[in-house]
Structure 1
């Protein structure tokens, strides 16, 4: 029989609809019957008791909002009758007992990765071309045009045939309506091009809008992020272009590299345009040096490595009312499995931990980390409020439309990505992961900014859950897209890799899905499976300026 509703936690006073429910329908849960006062769409919630103004709404066992006005039993929750509210938090001596999952099935498993001299192991092998300042972006475009297609790294999609057919129709006098209704052909996936350097997965150009202007701290942070990418295990080396006079000086970049890799020995070519002279000389030197770097990078080959060398970033975007019930807890279990195997995971997106801070604080192994987390999230929240916003404004229109009415509802589900293991370290952007286990990283909730940051801190694979669909990827780390519901997977399976709608359908447990995801991660890490974001060359890279970005 089709499952219609779910009570997530015994303390909850809401029920989640798994399917569309009609006004007046009698819903049986346990020994209680609820007569619905409204139509309740799938993913949305209705209350199980009469609420007065300012009464608490509990979901996942935590406070997720308060009633704006009286809400009768059986009524659907909306932005009209529910406002954001979350419990406070405090630090102190807290102890947690973690029930370590059984990892015997993965005990002797390995992945084939690229071993670096500092002990890190990459899941890919890329060469980077990086500007120190936005003034050099145009030069990167020229280098990209010169190298990518010639060396076999161009995009596989080929819509040229469609464009030519449209041109021919226009030349024959076709109207706008005829053009729009024309049955043209296109090849979505062209044949892969032969690469001159088969062991190099890509040449990645990290264009950005920073490096000068703003405040000096922005440039220091940008240099830290770029250093995180240069020293990343998925990177073989880099070409760096500097104008010369910008705030983000090469000397700062080198200091940040030394922090992360004191014995840094990757090939690194640095060019200064103001010292070099003509643009032509700069570009010629950059192309030659990049080509020389690719020859060196191509020497690297995949070799077996223990799963403890994996560092997984945990991300969600385009979340829906099923995110906290299927995909997020599934990768939370994957996270627990990897931690038990000695690997590292990163939970970020601090605005989406609002309301569950106490649970996270209680999981911190070191009281100093608990205090740092509390301070970081309080400072972030205060700055958002000072800017005229706040964490309560985090849910997007898409989130709200699909059941995430308040930031606390969204956060309680988003935190499930972190599983149940202890927190071993709390990092501020763009610090590097240095400890195995669950690491917290202060980032925005913005999908690309957060994914960019997690990779910069060391994630060599990212697990990205979505309920609405998003193409988000990263230049150097595979981003595995996981749908929360099967309708989305079937609709957008060209950009989604895995589906956890089976959990909602009752066909698979959270633990079974989490184990399945870990096996998929091992295949991706070994280069046996290419995820959609990599296949489409979805190279999203947005550094976080420490202004407010929710």
Structure 2
């Protein structure tokens, strides 16, 4: 049965409206009844008790703000009457009970069909990469894309060209601007393309970017680390790399980063070309086409074979969050995280600006003092760098977040952190370091969902679980991004980008554990190539490297 409000933690002094509450609506929580004194929009918060100026606001059992002015019991919390606030933290760990893993007996022995790589890792896809080492090569990358994609059967799946032709026909028929604007165009259709020449290759991905030269030398080193993460990734069969030759991001730098991630050898084809050595565009493109085609022939020899779920590496991400994300989609993902950790798999929780306010919990969950100290140091350095340029973590929530109930960064963060479940933190990684340990890993990235998703995959995520309350189309070039809706209205309004709906939790139809189990079953089907996610169907291949400047 659907309830009117939710109290997330017994220590909370605010309630979340699960539907719009008109003025004068009585609501109850654990024996306490309060009547709304104004209209409370769905996803927003109301005071359970009267708050005086300076009083603490608690959600998820942590401090998420303080009152700016008096708020009566049943009153609406807004950006005008509360402000962001968090408890202090340090790297000193408080003793916690030993973690109890969830019951994973239903998943023991379950496998997925994956691509087994020479380094022992297992991919959920099989892609070929074409990468520029510097932005100067982006044009040549585009030329290669034009030459290869359609001819090999990798053209876009949906075409809007017929709509353009329809508009041209209307113009030639003498239709006015007003008539053009009012016309209902025929739905977009499937783009015509030949069958794939290489059926075992999921696609060719062209990772254009704006880095590799200029900036500071550390930018080039970091970019090479990220690109090396993609080249060595288990979802990648091989790569073609184009270098100009004179840029900061040298081929030798990339090779060194690859060796750090693959000390026993790459074990897959890698073709490195420098334009200034080869000379003409004709020489560069023809050589790249020849080598890439040969690499695709080798990649096509790879086939899926069974692998245990412990071989999965999940990236945990959110974007376009709303006031329901922290009580439906994120905790459902958290349950998946705990299940996979219990099975021996790897999980990555990123977006450090969205861990603001829950730092002490993550410090306390760290497996040893060194891990706790590294997390604390990275968080403080990131926060200080934001303040140094006149910003701060408190400026993280977007207008969409605020409109839909996330009115302080701490409120947003406390809900976002639930994606990480409750398991111990086994490692803290600085961008773009790779994941090497089973369990929950924290990765320092921005809150920007494309930069963060790009980073998680670069660190090894083979599937990304992406929660959203407002709807965001983010995808990735090589890892399937599963889009998870926090509310049923979104899933119905944007079915073309949502893969899984956890609004069933808000609707009272499922528990968090039931939604999480359903989501893990979906993950296994995606990892096996049995289910294609919306972002892949739409060729949504977002790729934005982080230059380590302040990005919230």
| TM-score, normalised relative to structure 2 | 0.98
Looking at structure 1, the residues matched to 204 and 477 of structure 2 have their Cα atoms a distance apart, in angstroms, of 9
Residue number in structure 2 paired with 1:453: 455
* C-alpha contact (below 8 Å) 1:320/1:399 kept by paired residues: yes
Q: Which moved more, 1:176-185 or 1:532-541?
A: 176-185
Residue number in structure 2 paired with 1:212: 213
Looking at structure 2, the residues matched to 183 and 220 of structure 1 have their Cα atoms a distance apart, in angstroms, of 50
Q: Deviations over 1:107-150 (max 9, x none)?
A: 11111100100001000000000000000001000000000000
**Structure 2 counterparts to residues 301-380 of structure 1, below 5 A:** 301-380=303-382
SS in 2 for 1:106: coil
1:242 aligned onto 2:243? yes
Residue number in structure 2 paired with 1:419: 421
**Structure 2 counterparts to residues 183-332 of structure 1, below 5 A:** 183-190=184-191, 193-262=194-263, 263-332=265-334
| CA displacement at 1:23 relative to structure 2 | 1.8
Q: 2:487 aligns with which of 485, 488, 496?
A: 485
* C-alpha contact (below 8 Å) 2:108/2:343 kept by paired residues: yes
Q: Deviations over 1:155-182 (max 9, x none)?
A: 1101122111110110111111111111
| CA displacement at 1:246 relative to structure 2 | 0.5
Residue number in structure 1 paired with 2:17: 17
1:137 aligned onto 2:171? no
Residue number in structure 1 paired with 2:6: 6
| CA displacement at 1:26 relative to structure 2 | 2.7
Looking at structure 2, the residues matched to 440 and 382 of structure 1 have their Cα atoms a distance apart, in angstroms, of 19
| CA displacement at 1:264 relative to structure 2 | 1.4
Distance 1:392 1:308, change over 3 A: same
* C-alpha contact (below 8 Å) 1:160/1:186 kept by paired residues: no
Distance 1:479 1:271, change over 3 A: same
Looking at structure 2, the residues matched to 154 and 113 of structure 1 have their Cα atoms a distance apart, in angstroms, of 24
* C-alpha contact (below 8 Å) 2:229/2:261 kept by paired residues: yes
Looking at structure 1, the residues matched to 2 and 411 of structure 2 have their Cα atoms a distance apart, in angstroms, of 25
Q: Deviations over 1:480-518 (max 9, x none)?
A: 000000000001011100000010111101011111111
Distance 1:482 1:69, change over 3 A: same
| CA displacement at 1:193 relative to structure 2 | 4.3
Looking at structure 2, the residues matched to 458 and 184 of structure 1 have their Cα atoms a distance apart, in angstroms, of 42
Looking at structure 2, the residues matched to 120 and 193 of structure 1 have their Cα atoms a distance apart, in angstroms, of 32
Q: Deviations over 1:332-366 (max 9, x none)?
A: 00000000111000000000000000000000002
Residue number in structure 2 paired with 1:47: 47
Q: 2:438 aligns with which of 436, 439, 442?
A: 436
* C-alpha contact (below 8 Å) 1:311/1:459 kept by paired residues: yes
SS in 1 for 2:215: coil
Residue number in structure 1 paired with 2:178: 177
Residue number in structure 2 paired with 1:165: 166
1:119 aligned onto 2:120? yes
Residue number in structure 2 paired with 1:397: 399
* C-alpha contact (below 8 Å) 1:56/1:66 kept by paired residues: yes
| CA displacement at 1:192 relative to structure 2 | 6.7
* C-alpha contact (below 8 Å) 2:93/2:363 kept by paired residues: no
SS in 2 for 1:426: strand
* C-alpha contact (below 8 Å) 1:63/1:355 kept by paired residues: yes
| CA displacement at 1:191 relative to structure 2 | 6.4
Looking at structure 2, the residues matched to 419 and 386 of structure 1 have their Cα atoms a distance apart, in angstroms, of 32
* C-alpha contact (below 8 Å) 1:462/1:478 kept by paired residues: yes
Q: Deviations over 1:410-433 (max 9, x none)?
A: 000000000000111000000000
| CA displacement at 1:71 relative to structure 2 | 1.5
Looking at structure 1, the residues matched to 31 and 516 of structure 2 have their Cα atoms a distance apart, in angstroms, of 32
| CA displacement at 1:53 relative to structure 2 | 1.2
Distance 1:93 1:320, change over 3 A: closer
SS in 2 for 1:195: coil
Looking at structure 1, the residues matched to 81 and 193 of structure 2 have their Cα atoms a distance apart, in angstroms, of 53
Looking at structure 2, the residues matched to 411 and 79 of structure 1 have their Cα atoms a distance apart, in angstroms, of 16
Looking at structure 2, the residues matched to 373 and 183 of structure 1 have their Cα atoms a distance apart, in angstroms, of 54
Any unmatched runs of 5+ in structure 2? none
Looking at structure 2, the residues matched to 187 and 31 of structure 1 have their Cα atoms a distance apart, in angstroms, of 54
Looking at structure 1, the residues matched to 6 and 58 of structure 2 have their Cα atoms a distance apart, in angstroms, of 14
Q: Deviations over 1:214-273 (max 9, x none)?
A: 100000000000000000000000000001110000100000000000121210111101
| CA displacement at 1:461 relative to structure 2 | 0.2
Looking at structure 1, the residues matched to 405 and 370 of structure 2 have their Cα atoms a distance apart, in angstroms, of 36
Looking at structure 1, the residues matched to 29 and 231 of structure 2 have their Cα atoms a distance apart, in angstroms, of 55
| CA displacement at 1:72 relative to structure 2 | 1.5
| CA displacement at 1:2 relative to structure 2 | 3.8
| CA displacement at 1:184 relative to structure 2 | 2.2
| CA displacement at 1:30 relative to structure 2 | 3.8
* C-alpha contact (below 8 Å) 1:112/1:305 kept by paired residues: yes
* C-alpha contact (below 8 Å) 1:158/1:186 kept by paired residues: no
* C-alpha contact (below 8 Å) 2:155/2:191 kept by paired residues: no
| CA displacement at 1:93 relative to structure 2 | 4.2
* C-alpha contact (below 8 Å) 1:95/1:363 kept by paired residues: no
* C-alpha contact (below 8 Å) 2:93/2:372 kept by paired residues: no
* C-alpha contact (below 8 Å) 1:428/1:441 kept by paired residues: yes
Distance 1:389 1:11, change over 3 A: same
Q: Which moved more, 1:227-236 or 1:36-45?
A: 36-45
Looking at structure 1, the residues matched to 442 and 371 of structure 2 have their Cα atoms a distance apart, in angstroms, of 9
Looking at structure 2, the residues matched to 500 and 46 of structure 1 have their Cα atoms a distance apart, in angstroms, of 23
* C-alpha contact (below 8 Å) 2:393/2:409 kept by paired residues: yes
SS in 1 for 2:88: coil
